[in-house]
Amino acid sequence: MKRLAVFAWIFASTAWAGPRWLDRSHEVFLTPQMRGMAEGLRDFPVFWWNFIFVEAPDPAVSTLCDRIALMDGVRRLPCRHSADEIKSLTADWARDLPRRRNFPGWTEIRRGMRETLAKAALPMERSWIELLRLDPMGTLAELKAQLEHKADLNSSFKGGLMRDPDSGRVVLPVQFSFPPTEAARTQALLTSIGGLCSQTEGCASVHVFGAHAATLENESRVRQDVDLVSKLGTLALGLLCAFLLMTRRHRVLALVPWLVMAIAGAAAATVLVFGKIHGLTLAFGPGLIGLAMDYGIHSCFLDPRSRKTWRANWIGIWTTNVILILLAFSSIPLLRQMMFFAVFGLCLSYGLFYFLMRRRPKWFETEHYPVTAKRLRFMNVFAWLFLIAAPLIFFRTMEFDLQHFNFESAKTRELREWFFAKANAPSPYVFVHAQMVRLTSDIAHDGPGEYLPGFDEQQSHLATWRAALCGDGHHPLTPVESRFYAPFLDTIRCDHLQPADPGAAPPEYVKDFMGGGRFVTLFFPKDDGEIARLKSQYPAISSPREIFSSFPAVLFRELSWMLPLGFAGAFFLLWLHYRHIGWSALAVVPFFTGLGCYAVASWALSLPVSFISLVGLLMVFGCSLDYGVFVMDFLLFRKDEKPGVWSALSLCAAATMAGFAPMVFARHPVLHDLGHALLWGTLGTYVGSLWGTPSVYSMWSRLRAGWKA
């Protein structure tokens, strides 16, 4: 039944994928200060670059360059500048000369005109002549030099590509004409590039890596994983339902619709409060269902009318909530959102169960299974082993880097590592600004202001042109010059000498630096000294690498006080309940066995402990305290009653593990880490509840009796 809810959740998540309220961005990991900048980066075409890795001889690479440059969706391919691309870039550039520069005087202009006329006399396409008619001053050469200088900032690339004679690989940078979020267009383009390689003689392989390719690879992986997990989960659900029906415990299934309703309500409340709900918060849903289900199953097997049952449930939910509420104060939006979702979902489901079970206990009341922990005494060894192994978790590799959540196939990973080892690919420092201004700095940089100055500077340049051209004087041109340069003379007509309209479409040559009505300038500091100078000049500046590497530091800082305080709070609640330090400590034993089991599994299977693993362990913490309280309450207050607690715990744990085991087969790091943390954590918790706590309890009781004697 827990699985029914879990898979209803997964199916609902996939069916709803894509609406506006569903957030998939990485920005949800970032603090508000960092988020403002990171959020906008994807809007700027300057970040729409990918790398095509080709294994092919030079003639095949040349053919690929020719053909890829002409593909729909390719904005720029430095190994082959298409004539259309250059023409669209340069027409705007030539037209904006008076905005960019002071009037140079007629002597200078006429000399430029004569030189350009000489150039125009060479054999060339008519469209190039039209460009020359716009540009007597030869400013296109300046634009070309600026673009070449930009390309030279990365010394690994020559002629728009990087060749590695050792591996025989060629890397072609390519800029797409749409943002990485348009996965369908990326898919079509990558398929075409792959097809092109197979049609080109000598092309052995082609692989694309970069912003678009990574987004597509992640989305495809999640889709495939959810498909796999759904199939395996459906199988597990079917088997569990069949078991419940065959053993005539079908009343437990009555919990499922109410639980799904409560969690859906929690998701809706999250959307209302946060505006959106992140995919990872939804992925948290199955874990939440597992947690919320515990109180229902516990009540089904231990008399829903009993005050003792609900007292144990009450302590269970608040020991869980205390840490969830504390984490809700994190500056990381994802944690805040997840914790709100969890606390709201837990409370709502608890309220619904309480209301229904107190009024209609017969709908839910179920006879327990004839199972007790005493039957498998050898499990005590595992319980002790896991308990002792718990500290091992601190010796596991902590993987808090955001890059860890980015799924990469083995091939992509190999190429990325190879590329960053070979190429000089610095992470630029990014400064986002509302106005198009020229930023002054002696540190290498590139931005819109390097091409078109700000409004005031444009005005100042235009004033010199107006002073020279808008009086009574005539221009001293020959009839041939007047006729040939008619398009240029039109751009410097008095009524055209106006600054660029901020509301109009931007010129083609600065479009890379514009997005969402804002502008971006990139800086390329060479060393730490330049970085420090840059930061003192522009305090808001940061690099994508810095933004993402800030996440582990912030997370570590927050967890270092939230987790101890949360544990202390939960322990204080246990103490309030038992008024005995020893009994309170015994209720925590299942958590430590869960932690120990996960530590052993992560060591044996070489699993990294990531942010998502920690989120999974939080759910385990919630479950384990519930289990611990249920067991301790049973041992202390209800030992002579029917032993329904073992059935309840077994069913809770079996359903949770069956639900999360399929996630272990997922290859996306988020689902994979969550699956492992919950599977092994729940297994250890289960062992700790049934054998760990009773075993320590009986040892404690014997020791106490000995001391008293």
Residues at the site binding another protein, with contacts judged by CB under 8 A: 62-63, 66, 69, 79-83, 111-112, 114-115, 117-126, 129, 138, 141, 144, 159-160, 480, 483-484
Of the pair 484, 697, the CB lying nearest another protein is at 484
Q: Compute the least distance from the CB of residue 137 to another protein, in Å.
A: 8
Find residue 51's DSSP bridge partners. Answer: 173, 209
Name the token pair of 595.
């932690």
DSSP class of 329: T
Nearer to another protein, 43 or 164 (CB): 164
Nearest residue (CB) to another protein, 144 versus 518: 144
Q: Are 112 and 138 in contact (CB under 8 A)?
A: yes
Q: Which is nearer to another protein, 146 or 220 (CB)?
A: 146
- Specify the amino acid at residue 585: A
Minimum distance from residue 165 beta carbon to another protein (Å): 17
Task: Report which residue type is found at 394.
Answer: F
How near is the Cβ of 152 to another protein at its closest, in Å? 14
Q: Which is nearer to another protein, 159 or 529 (CB)?
A: 159
Alpha helices by DSSP H, listed for 470-578, are 479-484, 486-491, 528-537, 544-578
Q: Of 483 and 702, which has the nearer Cβ to another protein? A: 483
SS3 399: strand
* Cβ atoms within 10 Å of 679's Cβ, excluding its own: 24
| Contact by Cβ (8 Å): 416, 147 | no
Shortest distance in whole angstroms from residue 465 CB to another protein: 20
Closest approach, Cβ 508 to another protein, in A, equals 20
Q: At what angle do helices 140-152 and 83-95 cross, to 10 degrees?
A: 120
Shortest Å, Cβ 522 to another protein? 24
Q: How far is the CB of 200 from another protein (least distance, A)?
A: 13
Q: Please identify, using beta-carbon distances, which residue of 118 and 410 lies nearer to another protein.
A: 118
Q: How far is the CB of 191 from another protein (least distance, A)?
A: 23
For the CB of residue 436, give the shortest distance to another protein in the complex, in Å: 27
Give me 253's structure tokens.
């299934």
Q: Least separation, in Å, of the C-beta of 513 and another protein?
A: 24
Provide the b/e sequence for 255-294 (b: ≥16 CB within 10 Å). Answer: bbebbbebbbebbebbbeebebbbbbbbbbbbbbbbbbbb
Query: Strand 169-176 relative to strand 162-164: parallel, antiparallel, unpaired?
Result: antiparallel
> Measured between alpha carbons, how far is residue 150 from residues 147, 339, 422, 523 in Å?
5, 45, 19, 11
Nearer to another protein, 158 or 305 (CB): 158
Q: How far is the CB of 486 from another protein (least distance, A)?
A: 9
Q: Which residue has the tokens 């002790």?
A: 384
Residue 115 or 456 having the CB closest to another protein: 115
Residue among 129 and 385 whose Cβ is closer to another protein? 129
Q: What share of the chain is helix, strand, coil (3-state, %, to 5)?
A: 70, 5, 25
Nearest to 319 by CA among 299, 300, 295, 296: 295
d(CA 248, CA 614): 37
In this complex, which beta carbon is closest to another protein, that of residue 59 or of residue 257? 59
Q: What is the DSSP string of 585-609?
A: HHHHHHHHHHHHHHHHHHHHTT--E
E strands along 500-543, which residues?
A: 514-515, 518-523
Q: Give the Cα separation of 293 and 353 in Å (integer).
A: 9
